[in-house]
Structure 1
Amino acid sequence: MEMETEKSQQLAVSQLRKSVEKLGGSTEKYEDPTMMRFLIARSMDTDKAAKMFVQWQKWRTTFVPLGFIPDSEVPDELEAKKIYLQGLFKKGFPVMIVKASKHFPSKDQLQFKKFVVHLLDKTIASSFNGTEVGNEKLVAILDLKDITYKNVDARGLITGFQFLQAYYPERLAKLYIVHMPGFFVRVWNMVSYFLEKATLEKVVIVTNEEQRREFIRDIGEEALPEQYGGQAKLVPMQDVVLTPLAQTMELPQQLIFE
Structure 2
Amino acid sequence: MSSPAATNSGSSTHSKHPYKEPKQIEGLKNFRALLGPDNEKFDDGELMRFLVARSYDLPGAKAQLLASLEWRKANNVDDLPIPGPNNSNGVMYGVRGWHSVPDANIEAGHPNVPEHAMRLQNYMGGSCLHKWDKAGRPIYIERMGQHNVKGLAKHVTTPELVDYHIRCTEFVHNTIMPECEERFGSEDKVIDKETVIFDCTGMGFHQLHMDGLNMLRSLTDMDQKAYPERLGKLFIVNSPYVFVKVYSMIKKWLDPGVIEKIHILGKDYKNILLDHIDPENLPDFLGGECTCSHMPGGCVPSVIMKNIKPVEKAAPANNLLAVPTYLRPRSSSAASASSIMDYVMPGKPKDGIFQMFSAMAHDKECEYEIVVADEDVEHEPEVVIKFRVKGIRAACTGLNFTVARFEFGEKADHGTIVVPTKFYSLSECPESGDGIEVKFRAKAAGLYVLSWKPESQRGLVQMEYGVTVDGILGEGDADSM
Match of 1:71 among 113, 122, 134: 113
> In the TM superposition, what is the alpha-carbon distance from 1:7 to its structure 2 partner?
5.1
Look up the match of 1:115: 164
Look up the match of 2:53: 41
Bigger share in strand = 2
Indicate whether 1:147 and 2:196 are aligned: no
Tell me how far apart the structure 1 counterparts of residues 23 and 275 of structure 2 sit (CA, whole Å).
35
Tell me how far apart the structure 1 counterparts of residues 118 and 162 of structure 2 sit (CA, whole Å).
13
- Once the two structures are superposed, the pairs formed by residues 54-203 of structure 1 within 5 Å of their partners are 54-68=66-80, 70-72=112-114, 74-78=117-121, 82-100=126-144, 101-104=146-149, 105-106=152-153, 107-124=156-173, 125-129=175-179, 136-152=192-208, 153-203=212-262
Tell me how far apart the structure 1 counterparts of residues 213 and 56 of structure 2 sit (CA, whole Å).
31
Look up the match of 2:32: 17
On the 8 A contact 1:94/1:138 being kept in 2, the answer is: yes
Q: In the comparison of the two structures, how many residue pairs are matched?
A: 231
On the 8 A contact 1:80/1:102 being kept in 2, the answer is: yes
> In the TM superposition, what is the alpha-carbon distance from 1:150 to its structure 2 partner?
4.4
Identity, in percent, stands at 23
Tell me how far apart the structure 1 counterparts of residues 148 and 72 of structure 2 sit (CA, whole Å).
26
Tell me how far apart the structure 1 counterparts of residues 19 and 69 of structure 2 sit (CA, whole Å).
30
SS of 1:95's partner is: strand
Q: Which residue identity is paired with 2:158?
A: Q
In 2 relative to 1, CA 223–127 (structure 1 residues): closer, same or farther, beyond 3 Å? Answer: farther
On the 8 A contact 1:71/1:78 being kept in 2, the answer is: no
The structure, 1 or 2, with the larger RCO (C-alpha pairs under 8 Å, 6+ apart) is 1
> In the TM superposition, what is the alpha-carbon distance from 1:199 to its structure 2 partner?
0.8
On the 8 A contact 2:236/2:262 being kept in 1, the answer is: yes
Tell me how far apart the structure 1 counterparts of residues 191 and 19 of structure 2 sit (CA, whole Å).
21
Give the aligned CA root-mean-square deviation in angstroms. 2.9
Q: Which residue identity is paired with 1:116?
A: H
Larger Rg over CA atoms: 2
> In the TM superposition, what is the alpha-carbon distance from 1:66 to its structure 2 partner?
4.2
Q: Which residue identity is paired with 2:132?
A: L
**Deviation sequence 1:25-72 (CA, Å, 0-9, x none):** x44432111111100111112111000100110111122444436532
On the 8 A contact 1:97/1:141 being kept in 2, the answer is: yes
Bigger share in helix = 1
Q: Which residue identity is paired with 1:203?
A: I
Gaps of 5+ in 1: 238-258
Q: Which residue identity is paired with 1:108?
A: T
On the 8 A contact 1:164/1:172 being kept in 2, the answer is: no
Gaps of 5+ in 2: 1-17, 82-111, 293-298, 303-481
TM-score (norm 1): 0.78
**Deviation sequence 1:222-251 (CA, Å, 0-9, x none):** 2211110112231559xxxxxxxxxxxxxx
In 2 relative to 1, CA 28–219 (structure 1 residues): closer, same or farther, beyond 3 Å? Answer: same
TM-score (norm 2): 0.44
